[in-house]
């Protein structure tokens, strides 16, 4: 009887005797499960922070002081009046007054030419600009090295040697050749040449006829 009364009392109160909790009420998780969830949340937060740190904005491009991004021809190598590299649409294509294409074709041709030129140049420079710059940098570095350390010192040494030979040659000319040249000049300076105008034979004949000599 006591056990039956107890079961009935528990059923009336709505208490589950086996689980010890009321039906319909959420059960509180144990402390260990809460700690695990907190740890997982912290790890997720850490990964999110690392991803945010990885997606941080890039540093601005550092441009040297002697390089201008707007004016890329400061030495006027490709000037408009003397430039050999003229690649704009107006410099390549021109239709005379007598023959012309449709306006749409002309406009689309202009856009196609500029677009293909722009993207092709971008792609080619993306692939080849840095290696080409490296190759030309090495080439001009070798030229500068040969000019600074080989050519200019050789020219300086040659000029120094030629100054010595020039002095010796000047002494030899003044010693051996000057007397001969001066004597020859004095010899030819004594020559006198007189120019006389000769009368023609026909003029002399008529002159003598008029005088009664014939």
In the predicted structure, residue 161 carries a pLDDT above the cut 80: yes
Q: What's residue 146's pLDDT?
A: 95
**Distance between CA 135 and CA 70 in Å, rounded?**
25
pLDDT 10s digits, 122-155: 999 999 999 999 999 999 999 999 999 999 999 9
Least confident of 15-29, 88-102, 120-134: 15-29
What pTM, to 2 d.p., does this model score? 0.47
In the predicted structure, residue 51 carries a pLDDT above the cut 70: no
In the predicted structure, residue 203 carries a pLDDT above the cut 60: no
The answer to whether 79 and 85 have CB atoms below 8 angstroms apart is no
**Distance between CA 101 and CA 109 in Å, rounded?**
10
């Amino acid at each position: 009887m006591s056990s039956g009364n107890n079961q009935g009392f528990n059923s009336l109160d709505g208490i589950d005797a086996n689980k010890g909790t009321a039906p319909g009420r959420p059960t509180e998780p144990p402390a260990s499960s809460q700690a695990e969830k907190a740890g997982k949340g912290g790890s997720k937060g850490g990964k999110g922070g690392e991803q945010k740190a990885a997606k941080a904005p890039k540093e601005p491009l550092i441009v040297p002081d002697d390089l201008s991004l707007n004016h890329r021809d400061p030495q006027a190598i490709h000037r408009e009046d003397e430039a050999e590299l003229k690649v704009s649409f107006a410099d390549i294509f021109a239709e005379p007054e007598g023959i012309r294409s449709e306006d749409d074709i002309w406009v689309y041709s202009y856009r196609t030419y500029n677009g293909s030129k722009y993207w092709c140049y971008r792609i080619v420079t993306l692939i080849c600009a840095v290696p080409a710059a490296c190759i030309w940098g090495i080439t001009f570095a070798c030229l500068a090295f040969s000019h600074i350390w080989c050519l200019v010192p050789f020219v300086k040494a040659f000029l120094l040697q030629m100054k010595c030979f020039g002095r010796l040659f000047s002494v030899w000319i003044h010693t051996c050749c000057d007397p001969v040249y001066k004597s020859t000049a004095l010899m030819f300076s004594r020559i006198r040449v007189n120019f006389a105008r000769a009368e023609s034979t026909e003029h002399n004949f008529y002159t003598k006829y008029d005088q009664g000599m014939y």
